[in-house]
Structure formats: C-alpha cells, structure tokens
Structure 1
Amino acid sequence: MTLLQEAVAFIQKKVKVEPKIGLILGSGLGMLADEIQNAVTIAYDQIPHFPVSTVEGHAGELVVGELEGQKVITMRGRFHLYEGHALESVTFPIRVMKALGVETILVTNAAGGVNTSYEPGNLMLIQDHINLMYRNPLIGPNDASLGERFPDMSTAYDVELRELAAKLAAAQGIKLQSGVYAAVLGPSYETPAEIRMIRAVGADAVGMSTVPEVIVARHAGIRVLGISCITNMAAGILPQPLSHAEVMETAERVKGDFVQLLHSILKELR
C-alpha cells in the first residue's frame, strides 16, 4: 500500500461521507470549519504521513462533513515550505482530497497588498499566479495515474468559478478585487525593493502559500477557486513595520464578509 493509500484508508475509516469540495483555510480563516454540520474532526498528527502545521492561526486538523448542502473536507490550517516541509508534504493533502473524491477546491490565504489601490481588509479573487518560490511540486518522475506529465496552467483558477464568485460578491455588496497572486518562500517578509520588483512583474498581492497546492490540484484535474484576504500592505507602501499579529487582526476584522461569501459560493456550486 502506498503512502497516499494509507492516509486515505485511515480517513475513510473515520468518515461516512464522500467529500466533493475541498476547503483550504489560511491564516486566521479557520472559523468556517466551525459551521460544518455532522462534522468529523481529525488532527493532522493522527493521519499517516501527514505533516503537522506549526504556524499560529493554523489549527492543524481536517474537518469533514456538510456545509450548505455540500459534502466538504476542510483543511483548518495548511503547510508551508518555510516550516521546513518538503514540497511533497505541502501538497500531500491535495492528493488525499482527490483520492477521497474531491472535484473542486476553494483555497484561501492571507496576503500582502502589492497593488497600491488595495486596502487592508480587501478580498481579492485570484485570477492567476506567479511562482516566485522557483520550486515546482511536480518535479521528478510522473505518476500517470495522478495526472499528465505537462499539465496546462493557462486557466489554473477556474473561469466559471471566478465569474460566480464575482457575481455573488457584487450581489452582497462585498468589495472583491481581482488580481495576480505572487508566491514567495518566506518566512521573512519582503523588502521594499523586492515589493517594487514583484509589482513590476505584474503581481497585485504576495504571500507564502497556495501556488504549490494549486499546481498539484490542476495536475490532478481538480477545479480551483482562490481568494486572498489582503491583511496588510506590503513592505514600503505604508510607513509601518509588518507583523503576523496584524495579519491575524485583519483576518478577524473581515471574517464576516469572507465567511458570507464562501457560504454563498458553496450554496451555488453544482
């Protein structure tokens, strides 16, 4: 039995539903998992071959159940390369989700605003990304049973899902920016010079996650919708230091709109 099969078998013994939608909840955004009905919660450290999240604001557990009539599996906290995890570990939960039956993933993150028209507390629909981690989780031998050798990334973030999210946000009066997410390694925040470079190459927001997961999801044929919470303006834009505390405080302040939007998206997914 492979590592993937062992993890999947363990989870299937714990849960009765076959999830179709995966949710990856970033820094300070794990509260949505509290609303899942008939929930089964499994700590990451119980699941064979799962890494463990070490970041404040990431609870480190899977929650499986129902939300807005959908069968969901939720990552309450994710893994990052800056924690010392290998790319295979960071993206392993995506492989598990696919094997469990997931067809669509909603991925969220906390990000720094690079676009100077943004404000802390804005939500940004991810229309595309730039991989400034310069690492790809698909490097190495390709298992054709998991996906093709050269997956297309021209529409990494599903067009129909983006249109749905934009329509629902507008109907609810939620301001939803749309832009490009740049992923860097971290864990140090970027310098002002690096932010000027990131803006010059076309990014609107910057963070330390998401891209490896999205690459593996697309390799596996999973549809992806990505939304960033702009929790702070990136280095050099405002005359103040950056801190994780600010990230958490802003995520807490805007969680109402964020959760409301995610609920409405789930309700409309078919």
Structure 2
Amino acid sequence: MKTLSEKLQETTQFLKEKGIGDVEFGLILGSGLGELADEIEEAVAIAYEEIPNFPVSTVTGHAGKLVYGTLSGRKVLALQGRFHYYEGYAMTTVTYPVRVMAALSAHSVVVTNACGGVNETFKPGDLMLITDHINFMGTNPLIGANEEDLGPRFPDMSQAYTGDYRKKVAEVAQTRGIDLKEGVYMGFSGPTYETPAEIHMARILGADAVGMSTVPEVIVAVHNGLKVLGISCITNLAAGMQANLNHTEVVETTERVKAEFKELIKETLAVL
C-alpha cells in the first residue's frame, strides 16, 4: 500500500506534467461559488477523474475541476468543488487536495463555504469571516499514523485562522462597503441538516454558523504549516429559525451574492 507521501508524489508529478507550476494560494470553493475559478487567467483546468489519487465530487453546485493560473496577480490552484465526509470518503481523502496544494509549494489556503446562520443577527446572503471553528464531525483527519515530513503529531490549533489575513480581508470589506460579519463555524458531519435542538446546542457552545465542510481542510492546512483565510456565505438560517431547509436555497443564495463574494476574495488576494 502506498504511503500518503508516495501518493502525493505521484499526483504532483502528474499535475506538473500537465503544466501546473508552483502555487502561492490554494482556493477551496464551496457550493455555488465555483465560478471564481472561471476568472483565473492563463488557466490550466483538469477534471478530478483524470488526476491520480483524486476523488470525484458528487454534490450539486460543485463542478469537479482543478484550475491553476493567475488571479489578482497570485499563482492559485482552485478546487472547483470540494469533497465531503458525508459522501462516504475517508477524511484523508476529503483533505487530500490540501496536501497537494502544500506539496506544490502553496503557503496559504483560502477556504469558502455555504453554511447556515446560527447567530440571530445574521440573515441569508451575509458573508462571515471565520475567526475559529468547532469540530463536531465526530472524527479528525489526522487520526492514524503521522508522517513527520508532512506535519507534527500534535499540531497547535489555537490560531488556525491567520490573524493578519483576517485583518486584511476586514479592511478590504470596509473599503468596499461590505458588511462582513465575523464568527465561529461549527462543523457537523451531515448529510442531514441539523435539528432545532442541535442548533440550540450549537448556539450555547458559541457557534455563529454551521456547515458540513471546511473544518477537516483547515486542520490539515494547519498540520501542513499553511496560513488560512476562511469566509462563509450564510445561505439560510439554521433549523428552528426558518420554516424548512433545502440545498436549492443554498445554491440560490450563493448565486445572488456571488459577485460580491468573488470581488472580496479577489481584492483580498491582491493585498495578502
């Protein structure tokens, strides 16, 4: 059986042969947000199914392509569609693209997602800067043997979301007149939406938003020594705060605010 390092070597060699060079920023684009990858200049796009050791995204709103090129003057590698634990993938598979980004010399990752608002002052369409997270997914992507060349056995998560990046994106938002919220993201495994009782619990525990992604990728990014910027799109109010929940609303809300979201990401990349 191949080690994780051996799989990474195989994947990165394939990608380099396809024209992907060194990366500065990895971009993980959530539900309905993948169009940002279409704005990458001099783009090299590769379908996930062509890439050795890569899984395939199965969720509506996720295109399933890896896109490399220049965005806001930065060399980026974008995931146009991510992978989720609830799709049946192992956590090592869900987070594998982050390992690939690091192996291609990325120093930072920008993580976006669509999520439910728990904070009662939030409304659908708000953007939230992630200040911290709560892992309530019932597992951790670092469980198992640790390969020391990838990262430490016990990584420190006390500053997972890079403070300087948070400051810069807040400044960009203020300049553009964007009401950027801030808060704690709580990750659940899914695929069910949370119950009203679970949302009540999340609020008591200090969560401002809930979702089914992001936490595993950020843990692995920190393990790999990457800086992290996380931004959520509040696509709906969480269970018990509105009549019902469905994925169609998630995609529709991101469609409505995607222009503002994309500009925020692009202008922030330019100043990081």
Alignment of 1:86-105 (within 5 A): 86-105=90-109
- For 1:17 and 1:183, locate their aligned partners in 2 and report how far apart those are by CA, in whole Å: 32
SS in 2 for 1:232: strand
- Asked if the contact 2:20–2:44 (Cα under 8 Å) also holds between the matched residues in 1, the reply is no
2:83 matched residue in structure 1: 79
- For 1:154 and 1:16, locate their aligned partners in 2 and report how far apart those are by CA, in whole Å: 33
- Asked if the contact 2:21–2:104 (Cα under 8 Å) also holds between the matched residues in 1, the reply is no
Please tell me whether residue 236 in structure 1 is matched to residue 240 in structure 2.
yes
Aligned residue type for 1:96: V
SS in 1 for 2:95: helix
Q: TM-score, normalised by structure 1?
A: 0.98
Match of 1:37 among 41, 47, 60: 41
SS in 2 for 1:255: helix
Alignment of 1:44-63 (within 5 A): 44-63=48-67
- Give the drift of 1:17: 2.9
- Write the deviation string for residues 90-139 of structure 1: whole angstroms up to 9, x where unpaired: 01111111001110100000000000100000000000000000211111
2:264 matched residue in structure 1: 261
Alignment of 1:139-158 (within 5 A): 139-158=143-162
- Give the drift of 1:178: 0.3
Aligned residue pairs, count: 268
- Give the drift of 1:55: 0.1
5+ residue gaps, structure 1 = none
- Write the deviation string for residues 153-182 of structure 1: whole angstroms up to 9, x where unpaired: 000000000000111101100010000000
- Asked if the contact 2:137–2:189 (Cα under 8 Å) also holds between the matched residues in 1, the reply is yes
- For 1:153 and 1:25, locate their aligned partners in 2 and report how far apart those are by CA, in whole Å: 22
- For 2:152 and 2:198, locate their aligned partners in 1 and report how far apart those are by CA, in whole Å: 34
- Asked if the contact 2:20–2:68 (Cα under 8 Å) also holds between the matched residues in 1, the reply is no
C-alpha spacing 1:16/1:247, structure 2 compared with 1 (3 Å) = closer
Alignment of 1:96-245 (within 5 A): 96-238=100-242, 240-245=243-248
- For 1:144 and 1:62, locate their aligned partners in 2 and report how far apart those are by CA, in whole Å: 27
SS in 1 for 2:70: strand
Aligned residue type for 2:182: S
- For 1:34 and 1:9, locate their aligned partners in 2 and report how far apart those are by CA, in whole Å: 24
Percent identity of paired positions between Structure 1 and Structure 2 = 59
SS in 2 for 1:51: coil
Aligned residue type for 2:176: Q
Match of 2:18 among 14, 21, 28: 14
- Give the drift of 1:18: 1.2
Q: TM-score, normalised by structure 2?
A: 0.97
5+ residue gaps, structure 2 = none
Please, what is the CA RMSD of the aligned residues? 0.8
- Asked if the contact 2:28–2:82 (Cα under 8 Å) also holds between the matched residues in 1, the reply is yes
Aligned residue type for 1:15: G
- For 1:267 and 1:26, locate their aligned partners in 2 and report how far apart those are by CA, in whole Å: 21
Aligned residue type for 2:104: L
Aligned residue type for 1:224: V
- Give the drift of 1:16: 4.5
- Write the deviation string for residues 216-267 of structure 1: whole angstroms up to 9, x where unpaired: 00000000000000000001012x1101000000000001110110011111
2:73 matched residue in structure 1: 69
- For 1:135 and 1:98, locate their aligned partners in 2 and report how far apart those are by CA, in whole Å: 22
